[in-house]
Amino acid sequence: MQQKAIWAFIAILSAEIGLAQVPASKIEPIGFSSVTINDAFWKPKQELLANTTLKACIYQTETATPRLRNFQKVARKKGEKHEGIFYDDSDVFKALEAMAYSLKNHPDTTLEAKADEWIEMIAAAQQPDGYLNTFYTLNEPQNRYTDMSMHEDYNAGHMIEAAVAYFNATGKRKFLDVCIRWANHFDALFGPDKRHWVTGHQELELALVKLYKTTKDQKYLTLADWLLAERGHRYAKGYTWTDWKDTAYAQDLVPVKQQSEITGHAVRAMYLYTGAADVAAQTGDTGYLSAMLRVWQDVVHRNMYLTGGIGSSGSNEGFSIDYDLPNEQAYCETCASVGMVFWNQRMNSLTGDAKYMDVLERSLYNGALDGLSLTGDKFFYGNPLASNGKHARREWFGTACCPANIARLIASLGDYIYSKDNQGLYVNLYVGSETKMNLNGQEIAIKTTTDYPLNGSIRMDITANGQNNFFLRLRKPGWSDNTVVPGGLYQFALVNKTEPTITVNGKPFKAMLINGYYAIERKWKKGDVVVYQIPMPIQRIQAQEVLKQDQQRIALQRGPLVYCIEGADNDGKAWNIVFPNNASIVEKPMQVLTEKVIGLSASLPSLQINAAGDNVQTIYKEVIAIPYYTWCNRGSNQMQVWFPTTIKDVKLNY
Ligand SMILES: [Zn+2]
């Protein structure tokens, strides 16, 4: 379908579901390799990632666990057996992908040599027909592709993502060529008029779209589209999956284009919908787009935590029933929040609506960032919204999807800040950074300077030729527009009446708000300066009545950051406080380890129980709240995000 037809369809669909006006052209994110981050919030995190997190990933991958050794065993052909879990290859690839992004942010010849060394090992493990999987090649070569739940294609999808990232970061194509051989091998076996294949863990779909965009070879896009179309027809019967619960778990109950509800495993769902949105963006398939719009509403309106985390249930690492969002038992896998970032970016590019970036920002700064310690060497798998003090980050996991996933997200942050269409430039996230791009033949540059999220003061220096009009579009964050989340699952207790302000070259500018973006159109020229001030009041949040666990409770947010109270600032306790609706709260600049944060301070009633447990006193004391992503960095201790507003709702045990 032609692009015009796509947008005509989106316009009709948008009107039906109440979306604002859609843009006249397609939006293209500016890639990480064109963006230099240099702020005080993300830059140090990318440095920490390069100096500490990646070293931890490398140590775990090649020394502490057999993940990399399995590739060497394949190459040696000595009949050695596979060690570890059948999907461990994927962790090698994800670590490589994070290394690739990091090489752009933080050039490092030693790291690049390490990546090249790994790539040699991977290439040496590829079979003559293009197949590449250490588990089957070492243990069961006769059983290749006999069990769709065994992640052969999932592992390969991560290999493709890593190879594309490495090619974009370094220009080296050896790894990319390995992936092309693998994809051609897979394409020869599966597809229309060939064998059915319902992947047990979605990932290959989105990876194949990346391979298509890199190589321009149409067959990879066709294969991605076909993989999506395979779901929901019970083609998986006869293999491991015979139980309907398994098919719901992997979103295989209903064809993708007919899906309206989120089910099953959260990370599988995120990768599936990211892949579907990617295919829709390339082919204009409206069936995928309308399904995505329905499922997105189901996720955000009924099944998302305040932190942007999803997947409340630990038993299936995913979704249960609508509005079932317990706090202490929240699963909220780090990978699922990373997946929310991927999917929401695609939805933003498809629709031009800033609300997807609002959700992306919420998941990024809260649910995802919480997954990594401030020291860069420990990781959360689950990210609950309350803890009795037993939850702690760990150095690694048996199933180690989360560490490299948060690593690759932070390293690739440059992918999410800016985008463009043929009318101009979008600023989606406020990160001190610089980029250049070609806009309809005109070379333009933008430099953003800000301390966001510490405050909402943002300066943008524009360079352009001064001859052609184009739009600069600045996202007005939902939290600055009295919208906690699209759909209203959470609401601010008080209306914030302070509006953002914009000046262009020192003069106030009244910009139109279109699809959640302030749009400024002019003949931009070198030396133009835009100053955008977004007030960041302390905001109290209440949950809809249907969220039982959050009733008679409030949460706090300032800017994009959700806050929590943890024992480390409060005599070891976080569950004994009452937060009356009228308590006054003040900002308190402070540090959590070396992280500069704006803490929040209030004098609150606190329940004190004597050692015998037979006497309770209420005293007023100063209570400190800190940004949620910084909790549990000073030892394991109690924490909660939703605070009781009356004594009767204090639960000393959840
Ligand atoms: Zn994970």
Q: pLDDT tens digit string along 40-74?
A: 999 999 999 999 999 999 999 999 999 999 999 99
Residue tagged 């990318």 (tokens): 46
Q: How many residues does the chain have?
A: 654
pLDDT at 16: 44
What's the 509 CA to ligand 1 centre distance in angstroms? 44
What's the 404 CA to ligand 1 centre distance in angstroms? 9
Residues 6+ apart with CB under 8 A from 232: 252, 253, 254, 255, 256, 258, 259
Confidence band, pLDDT 50/70/90 cuts, at residue 6: very low
108 within 8 A of 414, measured Cβ to Cβ: no
What's the 333 CA to ligand 1 centre distance in angstroms? 6
Q: Among residues 28, 20, 18, 22, which one has the least CA distance to residue 5?
A: 22
Query: Which two tokens mark 459?
Result: 């300066």
pLDDT at 2: 42
pLDDT at 240: 53
What's the 319 CA to ligand 1 centre distance in angstroms? 15
pLDDT at 653: 61
What's the 92 CA to ligand 1 centre distance in angstroms? 14
382 within 8 A of 331, measured Cβ to Cβ: yes
CA Rg value for the chain: 25
Report the distance separating Cα 366 and Cα 411, nearest Å.
17
Q: Among residues 253, 96, 301, which one has the least CA distance to residue 178?
A: 96
Confidence band, pLDDT 50/70/90 cuts, at residue 250: confident
Report the distance separating Cα 99 and Cα 93, nearest Å.
10
What's the 469 CA to ligand 1 centre distance in angstroms? 45
What's the 121 CA to ligand 1 centre distance in angstroms? 25
Report the distance separating Cα 521 and Cα 630, nearest Å.
39
What's the 638 CA to ligand 1 centre distance in angstroms? 23
The predicted-structure confidence for 615-649, as pLDDT tens digits, reads as follows: 888 999 999 999 999 999 999 999 999 999 999 88
What's the 397 CA to ligand 1 centre distance in angstroms? 9
Report the distance separating Cα 168 and Cα 33, nearest Å.
7
What's the 13 CA to ligand 1 centre distance in angstroms? 34
Q: Residue 342: enclosing H or E segment and its boundaries? A: helix 334-351
What's the 382 CA to ligand 1 centre distance in angstroms? 8
Report the distance separating Cα 154 and Cα 136, nearest Å.
14
What's the 90 CA to ligand 1 centre distance in angstroms? 12
Residues 6+ apart with CB under 8 A from 286: 1, 6, 9, 10, 13, 280
What's the 413 CA to ligand 1 centre distance in angstroms? 18
What's the 401 CA to ligand 1 centre distance in angstroms? 4
Instruction: Kindly state the DSSP code that residue 1 receives in the 8-state scheme.
Output: -
600 within 8 A of 558, measured Cβ to Cβ: yes
Q: Is the pLDDT of residue 208 over 90?
A: yes
What's the 151 CA to ligand 1 centre distance in angstroms? 15
What's the 337 CA to ligand 1 centre distance in angstroms? 9
What's the 478 CA to ligand 1 centre distance in angstroms? 28
Q: Cis peptide before 453, with omega less than 30 degrees from 0?
A: yes
Q: Is the pLDDT of residue 263 over 60?
A: yes
- Interval 401-412 mean pLDDT: 95
What's the 330 CA to ligand 1 centre distance in angstroms? 14
What's the 335 CA to ligand 1 centre distance in angstroms? 4
Q: Among residues 147, 166, 93, which one has the least CA distance to residue 125?
A: 93
Q: Among residues 404, 451, 448, which one has the least CA distance to residue 102?
A: 404
pLDDT at 71: 98
Higher pLDDT, 456 or 1: 456
What's the 430 CA to ligand 1 centre distance in angstroms? 27
What's the 246 CA to ligand 1 centre distance in angstroms? 19
pLDDT at 320: 85
What's the 381 CA to ligand 1 centre distance in angstroms? 6
What's the 201 CA to ligand 1 centre distance in angstroms? 13
Higher pLDDT, 134 or 266: 134
pLDDT at 148: 86
Query: Which two tokens mark 325?
Result: 């969002």
Confidence band, pLDDT 50/70/90 cuts, at residue 246: low
Ranking 139-153, 218-232, 245-259, 514-528 by mean pLDDT, the lowest is 245-259
For 562, phi then psi, to 5°, come to: -85, 145
The predicted-structure confidence for 100-110, as pLDDT tens digits, reads as follows: 999 998 999 99
Q: Among residues 280, 246, 282, which one has the least CA distance to residue 264?
A: 246
What's the 176 CA to ligand 1 centre distance in angstroms? 25
Confidence band, pLDDT 50/70/90 cuts, at residue 592: very high
pLDDT at 21: 34
Q: Is the pLDDT of residue 238 over 80?
A: no
Q: Is the pLDDT of residue 8 over 70?
A: no
What's the 422 CA to ligand 1 centre distance in angstroms? 37
What's the 402 CA to ligand 1 centre distance in angstroms? 4
pLDDT at 147: 87
pTM of the model: 0.94
Query: Which two tokens mark 203?
Result: 């990932």
Higher pLDDT, 496 or 236: 496
Report the distance separating Cα 336 and Cα 492, nearest Å.
25
Query: Which two tokens mark 281?
Result: 């963006």
What's the 379 CA to ligand 1 centre distance in angstroms? 10
pLDDT at 318: 83
The predicted-structure confidence for 216-235, as pLDDT tens digits, reads as follows: 999 999 999 999 999 998 88
What's the 6 CA to ligand 1 centre distance in angstroms? 34
What's the 447 CA to ligand 1 centre distance in angstroms? 34
Q: Is the pLDDT of residue 24 over 60?
A: no
What's the 334 CA to ligand 1 centre distance in angstroms? 6
> Mean pLDDT across the chain, nearest whole number?
92
Percent of the chain with pLDDT over 70: 94
What's the 91 CA to ligand 1 centre distance in angstroms? 10
Query: Which two tokens mark 111?
Result: 């790291």
What's the 306 CA to ligand 1 centre distance in angstroms? 19
Ranking 88-92, 190-194, 607-611 by mean pLDDT, the lowest is 607-611
How many alpha carbons lie under 13 Å from residue 295 in its C-beta half-sphere? 30
How many alpha carbons lie under 13 Å from residue 436 in its C-beta half-sphere? 6
Report the distance separating Cα 150 and Cα 544, nearest Å.
40
What's the 553 CA to ligand 1 centre distance in angstroms? 30
pLDDT at 245: 55
Q: Is the pLDDT of residue 570 over 90?
A: yes
